Structure 1
Amino acid sequence: MSFHIKHYPAPQTSKTGWKLLIKPSKEAVAELRQKLCAQWKKAQGTNVQSVLAKLNPIIRGWANYHRIAVAKEIFNKLDHWMLRKAEHYTKWMHPNKSAEWRHQKYWGRLHLDRLDSWVFGDKPTGGYLLKFSWFPIERHKLVKGRSSPDDPTLKDYWMKRQAAKARDLTFSKQKLAKRQKGRCLECGESLFNEEEIQVHHRLAKSLGGKDLYSNLALVHLLCHQHIHAVTERSMRDCQQYNDRELLMEEKRMHHQSQQEENKELCGS
């Protein structure tokens, strides 16, 4: 179970004397740590860019899913835990270097929009590891009245609610989702039904297809697997694109932050 739901005594703030709080469950946090641990172990011996490409999608997905709950404290604890994991990684990579040297090489204010000097990443490229606490808590919006997803007259209402989830996608995927009007290319259903979303090459790269928007589309993971099973195509190129796109998005955000900061300096 992803969430823990419990009534807590609140005689000072609630008319009923109780307050319902929804938090990420201990089981969900434990499962997340196991998954991240596995990726950190695989990362030993690989460069920082590979580390970011593997960890950032997991952090982004888990934080976006759980930020509708009372999760601020848990997010902060996960960030401290990830700091220790990053320190272990750098120590394994550079066993003969001092802690000060490793901190100087791998940590800094890489996210220019935040006054945080302890951001782990790759200074030459500007890529950095996301932090759970960077994802703001957003309470779930209650459904209006007795609105039902099965009511055909409310189809537009439910599509708009689901399309709002597009803001959690990377910039490139947001552009594709808008072009597809929030629908999966394969099944035609809403992209935002809690299934994993992947980028698909309309024309396979092995057949000359390019990494251009005109040749890319968003599909559900299961739909993606179905497409490749039917056409006997390999998902390798698509998976490589999905991994690379996440890393490029981090670089784009870093570059944009630098440009905005330069404008502010020039204007001051």
Structure 2
Amino acid sequence: MLVEFLAERGLELSDEKTVITHIDDGFDFLGFNIRKFKGVLLTQPSKKCVKKFLDGIRYTIDSNKSCKQETLIRLLNPKITGWANYYRCGASSKTFQRVDDQIFRKLWQWAKRRHPKKGKPWVLKKYFHHYKNRNWRFLVVLNKNGKEDIFPLKLAFETKIMRHKKIVSEANPFDREWKEYFEERMTYKMLISLKGRKSLLYMWNKQERKCPICGQEITAETQWNVREKKVSGQTVRYLVHDKCYKQNR
């Protein structure tokens, strides 16, 4: 039935990529493994993609055996951060812990190889430190303008899990009654991304940290949201107090 349905629309299934399987056995899709475990649907990073990521990390470390610790951290941090951000919407906490453990083991080898005549305590003291209530953190202490600046390796486990917020099925972006709902959803999406938070900070400073409706300050304690309005045919976003918006819409 499905093949016939697609054929009428000029589409066809790929035999290589199409698998019919039981949900309890699971399947891989876009880097995630999706399966039911004891009646609960879990979306986790697939084993194949975890292996590919760790292979890339190991290659980076092996390719920079003689570089400075700071340089190696700068090479690894974007890779770890980007990978963890992609999988933060799934059930990834345990996978993040395993990934961090594997990276640590590889870095420990890297550090010991650089100083074959030194003992383990010396290597530990030079490259690994106590930081944010955790021991054995791979970090370097930099001196900038007479001040110490701690530059640690990112941990995948530090990435906060952000569950996907499903859109309300009856919500219509072309219906003015749902305008406030979509604006609140837009604010939420901006808050969970670095680029979005920078945009919010830019708007906040541009407005001199004040609500354009009441003129009072917008702070972390006040309820606020991002609103849109048409100015000369263009959509302009600005921060306002929720109370002000509802009173003046």
TM-score computed with the length of structure 1 as normaliser: 0.54
Q: Distance in 1 between matches of 2:99 and 2:139?
A: 17
Which of residues 21, 24, 32 is equivalent to 2:45? 24
Higher share of residues assigned helix: 1
How big is the shift at 1:57?
1.0
* Match in the other structure for 1:120: 138
Q: Distance in 1 between matches of 2:161 and 2:199?
A: 26
* Match in the other structure for 2:198: 175
* Match in the other structure for 1:2: 31
Q: Distance in 2 between matches of 1:162 and 1:38?
A: 39
The superposition leaves residues 181-212 of structure 1 with CA deviations (integer Å, 9 ceiling, x where unpaired) of 9xxxxxxxxxxxxxxxxxxxxxxxxxxxxxxx
Q: Distance in 2 between matches of 1:43 and 1:156?
A: 51
Conserved 8 A contact 1:106-1:123: no
* Match in the other structure for 1:135: 159
Q: Distance in 2 between matches of 1:173 and 1:163?
A: 8
How big is the shift at 1:29?
0.7
Conserved 8 A contact 1:105-1:123: no
Unaligned runs of 5+ in 2: 1-29, 143-148, 205-249
Is 1:80 the equivalent of 2:80? Answer: no
> Structure 1's 175 and 7: CA in aligned 2 closer, same or farther, altered over 3 A?
closer
Higher RCO by CA contacts (8 Å cutoff, separation 6 or greater): 1
Q: Please show how residues 1-268 of structure 1 align to structure 2 within 5 Å.
A: 1-9=30-38, 18-110=39-131, 114-124=132-142, 125-147=149-171, 151=174, 161=185, 164-167=188-191, 174-175=197-198, 178-179=201-202
> Structure 1's 175 and 138: CA in aligned 2 closer, same or farther, altered over 3 A?
closer
Conserved 8 A contact 1:107-1:118: yes
Q: Distance in 2 between matches of 1:168 and 1:31?
A: 26
Unaligned runs of 5+ in 1: 10-17, 182-268
Structure 1 range deviating more: 89-98 or 139-148: 139-148
How big is the shift at 1:137?
2.0
Q: Distance in 1 between matches of 2:191 and 2:58?
A: 28
Q: Distance in 1 between matches of 2:57 and 2:92?
A: 18
The superposition leaves residues 27-53 of structure 1 with CA deviations (integer Å, 9 ceiling, x where unpaired) of 221121122122212322111111111
How big is the shift at 1:73?
1.1
Conserved 8 A contact 2:88-2:159: yes
Higher share of residues assigned strand: 2
Question: Any idea what SS the aligned residue of 2:116 has?
Answer: coil
Conserved 8 A contact 2:90-2:161: yes
> Structure 1's 147 and 37: CA in aligned 2 closer, same or farther, altered over 3 A?
farther
Q: Distance in 1 between matches of 2:179 and 2:99?
A: 38
Conserved 8 A contact 1:109-1:119: yes
Conserved 8 A contact 2:34-2:43: yes
> Structure 1's 55 and 20: CA in aligned 2 closer, same or farther, altered over 3 A?
same
Question: Any idea what SS the aligned residue of 1:123 has?
Answer: strand
Query: Which of these two proteins has the greater Rg computed from alpha carbons?
Result: 2
How many corresponding residue pairs? 168
Conserved 8 A contact 2:54-2:103: no
Q: Distance in 1 between matches of 2:115 and 2:70?
A: 16
Q: Distance in 1 between matches of 2:95 and 2:66?
A: 30
Q: Distance in 2 between matches of 1:159 and 1:36?
A: 39
